[in-house]
Amino acid sequence: MAYDDLRDWIKALERAGELRRVRTEADPILEITEIADRVSKSRDKHGDVGGKALLFENVKGYPGAQLLINQFGSARRMRLALEVDALDEIAGRIRGFMDVKSPQGFLDKMKMLPMLAEVGKLFPKTVTTGPCKEVIKRDNFSLLDFPILQCWPKDAGRFITLPCVITRDPKTGKRNVGMYRMQIYDERTTGMHWQRQKVAAEHYRDRLRETQSGASLKVDLMARSSGGAMLAAGERPSGRMDVAVAIGTDPALTFSAIVPAPPEVEEFIIAGFLRQKPMELVKCETVDLEVPANAEIVLEGYVNLDELRTEGPFGDHTGFYSLEDEYPVFHVTCVTHRKDPIYATTVVGKPPQEDAWMGKAVERIVLPLMKLTIPELVDVNLPIEGVFHNLMIVSIRKSYPGQARKVMNAIWSLGQAMFTKCIIVVDEDVDVQDVADVTLKALNNIDPERDIQFTLGPVDSLDHSARLANYGSKMGIDATRKWTTEGFGRPWPDEIVMDAKTRAIVDGKWRALAKELGME
């Protein structure tokens, strides 16, 4: 059964022994980050990394406040959040939807009814009110009333790090829920870190286009920097763009905000799919948007289309500080929240951190979707230390010469995968989840000059090594076995593998041998 809200999720964490209540006073300025960082990198008695979820109940300067962090910070908690025994279960459900064929007769149509009923569960429904409306503040509010973290010493200030930022496509009316950090400027304004390739940034550009005539618009929209916009002389856009921010949502929606879904699919629907229960939404008080009815905190407001402000630096998931840049400014017009709201947040930095396990869940869930475009794909691994856009290892079922290079280019054409700096392609018998096996096979299989290709294109805004902001080089490595039809004329050697008969003989003796050898 789906978690109703963040509080329901916290109860589940506690029942599972996955939550620790922290009653020692801790400062939201740097100190909570240091505690969470140590916990996220700790190992339990089984050797698993991630520690426990932490509920701080004695936040310095915020009497009575509660702060939740590291809620997704292990493989087990990620499965618990999505209510599955294995993340591949979700991939299986996705494949089930994609395998539907057109019904050929009455019986086929009848067989489809259960699936159609399940699809009906995905769509959100609007309700008249909800817990997020228990307290409504149109005046006399301050963002500093919440225990917002400053994570790292050189951060530009406090940042909201786990927001569900809601915008609406001005062309289609579809809503988007994205996760973009928000630097606190003062009691009522924040930065809005809309990197140029993100969906909300496209909504912003579309609103800019609406304010200018097609003939006079000479704009490299949001390209003066990652967030900026260059207008022709004398041009200045006017108008606002409505934005709402939900903090402290149920785990399915929080996770959905980072899933790289097609813009046509609302994250509210993805959350409904994950939780198998529709999201309940309520209308905002001051802007034309809907927000999760059970959210702990909701910020309503707007960005001006003609206003940019310096945002950053910020200690990011790459393990380095992302540099300051120009981004839109979010003006808060109303704050609504539950009584005694729980502030949900996260820390990013050198891996492993909480976001690592969220990223690994995305890896499993998007694999079936990647296979739609790349059917020869067998498996994918985004190693945590590769911070998800620096390295992707893929195995393929190779059928023709040059196929590994075709796969590299296909990956670079897929949404957020276009940012992947390095792609390693191996054969289907290589376990991409075993980095030691990949290292052995890949380094044995490549001739560097022949098998490495470089290309230029868009790179992640956080890539500080790129020659230009958002633009640089990427590398693909063809680590598959080489065929004569690929110009390889020498024999390809067999891999060393013990014969099955000998292995079976030793298997029968192994229990006694292990005891004798001290390997029990």
Mean pLDDT of 158-169: 97
Residue 500, domain member (yes or no): no
Question: Residue 269: what pLDDT?
Answer: 92
Q: Is the pLDDT of residue 518 over 80?
A: yes
Tell me: the pLDDT tens digits for 274-327? Answer: 998 999 999 999 999 999 999 999 999 999 999 999 999 999 999 999 989 999
Specify the pLDDT at position 235.
47
Q: Please, which pLDDT band fits residue 100 given cuts at 50, 70 and 90?
A: low
Instruction: Show the tokens assigned to 402.
Output: 């040059």
Q: Quick one: 187 and 272 in the same domain?
A: yes
pLDDT above 60 for 333: yes
List 250, 316, 325, 451, catalytic entry: 316
Structure tokens at 126: 């609007």
Q: What is residue 218's predicted lDDT score, i.e. its pLDDT? A: 36
Statement: residue 221 has pLDDT above 70: no
Please, is 100 exposed, middle or buried when counting C-beta atoms within 10 Å of its C-beta (0-12, 13-18, 19+)?
Answer: exposed
Count of residues in the chain: 520
The answer to whether residue 237 sits within a structural domain is yes
Measured torsion, CA atoms of residues 459, 461, 466, 471, in degrees rounded to the nearest 10: 50
Considering the domain architecture, whether residues 170 and 281 belong to the same structural domain is answered as yes
The vertex-503 CA angle with 499 and 504, nearest 5°, equals 120
Residue 397's domain comprises 374-486
The residue among 297, 326, 354 that closes a domain is 354
State the pLDDT at residue 264. Answer: 82
Please state, in angstroms and rounded to a whole number, the distance separating the CA atoms of residues 141 and 428: 57
3-state DSSP call for residue 510? Answer: helix
431: pLDDT strictly greater than 50: yes
Query: How many other CB atoms are there within 10 angstroms of residue 457's CB atom?
Result: 13
pLDDT-wise least confident of 52-66, 100-114, 340-354: 100-114
263 band by pLDDT with thresholds 50, 70 and 90: confident
Give 483-488 contacts, CB < 8 A, sequence gap 24+.
483/401, 485/400, 485/401, 486/401, 486/402
Q: Are residues 349 and 400 in the same domain?
A: no
Regarding whether 161 and 56 lie in a shared domain, the answer is yes
- 367 belongs to a structural domain: no
293 shares its domain with 394? no
Report the interhelical angle of 88-98 vs 106-120 (nearest 10°). Answer: 140
Q: Name the percent of the chain lying above pLDDT 90.
A: 76
CATH number at residue 203: 2.30.110.10
* pLDDT value for 88: 87
Q: Are residues 136 and 276 in the same domain?
A: yes
- CA-to-CA distance for 204 and 201, rounded, in angstroms? 5
Once rounded to an integer, what is the mean pLDDT over residues 8-30? 97
**Do both 346 and 404 map to the same domain?**
no
The residue among 99 and 216 whose pLDDT is bigger is: 99
User: Rounded mean pLDDT of 395-406?
Assistant: 97
Question: What does pLDDT average to over the chain?
Answer: 89
396/287 same-domain check = no
What confidence score (pLDDT) does residue 106 get? 55
Q: What is the pLDDT of residue 48?
A: 79
Residues 383 and 456 in one domain: yes
At residue 415, does pLDDT exceed 90? no
- The terminus-to-terminus CA distance of the chain in angstroms comes to 41
Question: What's phi and psi for 215, nearest 5 deg?
Answer: -75, -35
The domain boundary residue, chosen from 292, 324, 354: 354
Q: In whole angstroms, what is the distance from residue 163 CA to residue 247 CA?
A: 5
Structural domains in the chain (count):
2
- Judge whether 263 lies within some domain: yes
Contact 64, 376 (CB under 8 A): no
238 pLDDT band (50/70/90 cuts)?
Answer: low
Q: Which tokens in the block code for residue 511? A: 């229990």
Whether 316 is catalytic is yes
Last residue of a domain, one of 305, 321, 354: 354
Query: Is residue 518 domain-resident?
Result: no
**Per residue in 448-490, pLDDT tens?**
999 999 999 999 888 899 999 889 999 999 999 999 999 999 9
Residue 323, in any domain of the structure = yes
Alpha-helical segments (H) within 31-183: 31-40, 75-81, 88-98, 106-120
Residues 273 and 420 in one domain: no
In which band, very low, low, confident or very high, does the pLDDT at 229 lie, cut at 50, 70 and 90?
very low
Residues 114 and 168 in one domain: yes
Our CA dihedral for 55, 58, 62, 64, rounded to 10 degrees, sits at 80
Higher per-residue confidence, 150 vs 223: 150
Is 516 a member of any domain? Answer: no
pLDDT for 147 beyond 80:
yes
Residue 210 has a pLDDT of 83
d(CA 22, CA 67): 10
- 230 — pLDDT class (breaks 50, 70, 90): very low
Report pLDDT for 215: 33
How many Cβ atoms sit within 10 Å of the Cβ of residue 370? Answer: 18
User: What is the reported pLDDT for 209?
Assistant: 86
Q: Which two tokens stand for residue 25?
A: 């006073």
Q: Cα–Cα distance between 181 and 151 in angstroms, integer?
A: 12
> What pLDDT sits at residue 110?
52
Please report which residue ranges of 194-311 form alpha helices under DSSP H.
Answer: 199-211, 251-256, 267-275
- In terms of domains, do 325 and 471 share one? no
CATH number at residue 407: 3.40.1670.10
pLDDT at 102: 54
pLDDT band at 262 (very low <50, low <70, confident <90, very high): confident
Q: Render pLDDT for 47-97 as a digit per residue (tens, 0 to 9).
A: 778 899 999 999 999 999 999 999 999 999 999 999 999 988 888 877 766
Report yes or no on 265 lying in a domain. yes
